[in-house]
């Protein structure tokens, strides 16, 4: 199984900025996304949930105390309230004008050929309406094959696959299964991957021994570890055959892996 041309055409591992260039700007923000592309990342990873009024919001936390200093429940709050919250001051006072983005707004900044890993957030059975709405938004893009939809939650990925099954192949996006060491054995060994139907496995970096990577690759999966911020670790993982990286430090990783960035695309914000 492969992720498709946009993820493989460079002939080297792709670099996705985790929540944007989140070591240098507020996570999942317009600035973090713009900075990631300016630093030569191939794209970004971002998190999505559906808010109380139904819009798809780019955000990691379900409760916004950390990001906005207020105990707002994202899944209950309407977009009319969420859109006014300051989600940058927690990072640094100079980012006090940072606001949450809708997925559609983020994609306006992340134009083709930028790669975008959309992580569906949700515990248990998750929000059943989230995958279908995300599928609608992504399939309307000029290049839906540049999206990679991932989740820790197999139920959300199955729903996303079902929603995509109603589309022509040219409108579909690949899927990836996230897992980490703290999960139960079936999840952290990716045993459910065949049932979910994914092209890639996204293990936390602490699970990435060379033998594990070889095993996942032998099962036919592209391997996309997170979060890889150390150049030496990235080089070892590259040698082990990973397909791409998710990192908080795209500039550092990009330079360690491929030399200084040389922008040859028109993916910069506003282009
Ligand atoms: O997609 C990789 C990573 O984002 C998963 O964990 O909690 O940062 O969304 P988290
Ligand atoms: Mg994420």
pLDDT tens for each residue of 184-237:
888 888 888 999 999 999 999 999 999 999 999 999 999 999 999 999 999 999
Protein residue with its CA nearest to atom 3 in ligand 1: 226
Confidence of residue 64 (pLDDT cuts 50, 70, 90): very high
Residue 169 sits at the vertex; the CA angle it makes with 223 and 6, to the nearest 5 degrees, is 40
Q: How far is the CA of 12 from the centre of ligand 2 (A)?
A: 23
For the whole prediction, is pTM greater than 0.85? yes
Residue 265 has pLDDT above 50, yes or no: no
Residue 246 CA: which ligand 1 atom is closest? 2
Torsion of CA 268, 250, 157, 171, to 10 degrees: 30
CA-nearest residue, atom 4 of ligand 1:
18
**104: CB partners within 8 A, 6+ apart:** 56, 137
Does ligand 1 have an atom closer than 6 angstroms to the CB of 47? yes
The dihedrals phi and psi of 108, each to the nearest 5 degrees, come to -65, -35
pLDDT surpassing 80 at residue 271: no
- For the chain, the residue count is 271
Task: Say if residue 125's pLDDT is above 50.
Answer: yes
Higher pLDDT pick, 31 / 261: 31
**CA pair distance 54, 262, nearest whole angstrom:** 40
Per-residue model confidence (pLDDT) at position 189 = 85
Domains defined along the chain, listed by start = 5-258 (3.20.20.190)
- Per-residue pLDDT, averaged over 83-94, amounts to 98
| pLDDT score, position 1 | 60
**Of the ranges 4-8, 126-130, 185-189, 244-248, the best mean pLDDT one:** 244-248
- Average pLDDT over every residue of 150-161: 96
> Above 50 in pLDDT, residue 129?
yes
Q: How far, in Å, from the CA of 59 to the mean position of ligand 2?
A: 9
Q: What is the pLDDT at residue 228?
A: 97
Q: What is the C-alpha to C-alpha distance for residues 106 and 117, in angstroms, rounded to an integer?
A: 12
Q: Which ligand is nearest to the CA of 61?
A: 1
| Residue 152 CA, closest ligand 1 atom number | 5
Separation of CA 16 and ligand 1 centre (Å): 12
Average pLDDT over the chain reads 93
Whether residue 178 has its Cβ less than 6 Å from ligand 1: yes
pLDDT at position 269 is: 36
pLDDT computed for residue 11 by the predictor = 82
Cβ of 150 closer than 6 Å to ligand 1, yes or no, is yes
Q: Where are the alpha helices (DSSP H) in 110-265?
A: 129-139, 154-164, 185-188, 193-196, 210-218, 231-240, 250-258
Query: How close is the Cα of 212 to the center of ligand 1, in Å?
Result: 20
Q: Would the pLDDT of 124 be above 90? A: no
Residue 264 has pLDDT above 50, yes or no: no
Helix (H, G, I), strand (E, B) or coil at 134: helix
Ligand 1 atom with the smallest distance to the CA of 60 is 9
Whether the CB of 18 sits within 6 Å of ligand 1: yes
Ligand 2 centre distance from Cα of residue 176 (Å): 12
């Amino acid at each position: 199984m492969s992720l498709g041309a946009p993820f493989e055409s460079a002939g080297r591992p792709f670099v996705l900025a985790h929540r944007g260039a989140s070591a240098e700007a507020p996570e999942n923000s317009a600035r973090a996304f713009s900075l990631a592309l300016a630093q030569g990342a191939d794209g970004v990873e971002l998190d999505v949930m559906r808010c109380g009024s139904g819009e798809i919001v780019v955000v990691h936390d379900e409760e916004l105390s950390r990001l906005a200093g207020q105990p707002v429940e994202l899944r209950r709050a309407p977009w009319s309230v969420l859109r006014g919250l300051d989600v940058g001051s927690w990072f640094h006072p100079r980012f006090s004008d940072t606001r949450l983005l809708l997925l559609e707004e983020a994609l306006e900044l992340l134009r083709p050929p930028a790669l975008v890993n959309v992580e569906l957030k949700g515990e248990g059975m998750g929000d059943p309406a989230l995958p279908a709405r995300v599928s609608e938004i992504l399939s309307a893009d000029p290049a839906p094959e540049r999206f990679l939809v991932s989740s820790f939650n197999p139920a959300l990925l199955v729903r996303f696959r079902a929603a995509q099954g109603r589309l022509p192949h040219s409108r579909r996006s690949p899927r990836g299964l996230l897992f980490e060491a703290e999960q139960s054995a079936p999840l952290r060994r990716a045993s459910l991957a065949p049932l979910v139907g994914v092209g890639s496995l996204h293990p936390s970096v602490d699970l990435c021994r060379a033998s594990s990577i070889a095993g996942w690759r032998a099962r036919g999966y592209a391997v996309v570890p997170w979060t890889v911020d150390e150049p030496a670790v990235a080089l070892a993982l590259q040698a082990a055959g990973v397909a791409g990286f998710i990192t908080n430090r795209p500039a550092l990783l990009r330079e360690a892996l491929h030399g200084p960035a040389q922008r040859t695309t028109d993916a910069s914000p506003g282009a």
